[in-house]
Amino acid sequence: MDRSPSTPRTVFITGAARGIGRACALRFAAAGWRVGAYDLDADALASTARELNARAAGGSSCHAHLDVCDPASIRAALEHFEAHAGGRVDVLVNNAGIMSVGRFEALDPVDMRRMIAVNLQGVIEVAHAAFPYLRDTPGARLINMSSASAIYGVPEMACYAATKHAVRGLTESLEVEWAAHDIRVCDVMPIFVRTALLTNTRMARAQAGLGVHLEPGDVAAAVYTAATSRWRRVHRPVGWQAKLAYHASGLSPTALERLVMRLLTRS
């Protein structure tokens, strides 16, 4: 396996066809990384791949189908990337996710099971399957896409928030456990981002109250910083509102956090 200093660093990104995942792929490609873009949406992924090839700055890219709910698909995607990246996985961006908004009792349990399967089980399965590649790449990093809803649960996003709280717990556990293998683990916690994840579902009252101030590129910049910074930070909130909520959560009592959330989301 080639580990010479001249070898481009590599990044494997799930959910790379659209939104935050696409922005991450383009950000890394522009910096000369060897990018592996993986997604379930073949048409959107092909479009992203064309732009990656056009913007690559000294690196290269590959892309293929990935269903994070299918262990065989995960293994195939990692093997595909191994063939293109010489076995290295310097950074894994666990980004694939879905969201359904609505009052908990009104949501279809099928939609909730799907969120758990993609947002949590998919993150777990991809991280588990990628472990040998990360372990064998010195200084590797795992970056999980969490959410500001992992700081305090958001009304009308109960199941989504639950999956992101679980991703936060997974991240904290693996950050300690995988340090022995020279693997850094962190999560990124954006608040509402202007992507299809929002536009393809109804608006939560919290979104109406807080507004949407982040673009996919803002989150991609935070992910790139997490991939390259020498500072060890387990949680990386994105946007001033998420940063304020994150830092306040360590100072304010739970009762105050609950009151603020009720005020922000009242009809």
The model's pLDDT over 195-208, given as tens digits with 9 standing for 90+, comes to 454 444 544 444 44
* DSSP-based helix, strand, coil % in the chain, nearest 5: 55, 15, 30
Q: What is the mean pLDDT of residues 179-208?
A: 68
Indicate the length of the chain as a whole number. Answer: 267
pLDDT over 50 at 13, yes or no:
yes
Structural domains in the chain, CATH included, are 10-265 (3.40.50.720)
160 catalytic, yes or no?
yes
* Residue of 147, 182, 142 lying closest to 20 (CA atoms): 147
Global pTM reads: 0.85
Question: Which tokens in the block code for residue 216?
Answer: 């996919």
Region of poorest pLDDT, from 48-52, 92-96, 124-128: 48-52
Give CA separation, 40 vs 64, 69, 80, 119, 183, in Å: 9, 10, 15, 14, 27
Q: Chain-wide mean pLDDT for the chain?
A: 85
pLDDT, residue 19, reads 92
Q: Which residue has the tokens 């949590």?
A: 120
pLDDT over 90 at 175, yes or no:
yes
One-letter amino acid of 142? L
Q: How many CB atoms lie within 10 A of CB 266?
A: 9
Which residues, in sequence order, are CB contacts of 78 under 8 Å at separation 6+? 12, 89, 129, 130, 133
Q: Which of 38, 152, 160, 224 is catalytic?
A: 160
Give CA separation, 71 vs 74, 222, 229, in Å: 5, 28, 31
pLDDT, residue 58, reads 59
Task: State the SS3 of 117-157.
Answer: HHHHHHHHHHHHHHHHHHHCCCCCEEEEECCHHHCCCCCCC
pLDDT, residue 149, reads 84
- What is the share, in percent, of the chain residues with pLDDT greater than 70? 77
Predicted confidence band of residue 53 (pLDDT cuts 50, 70, 90): confident
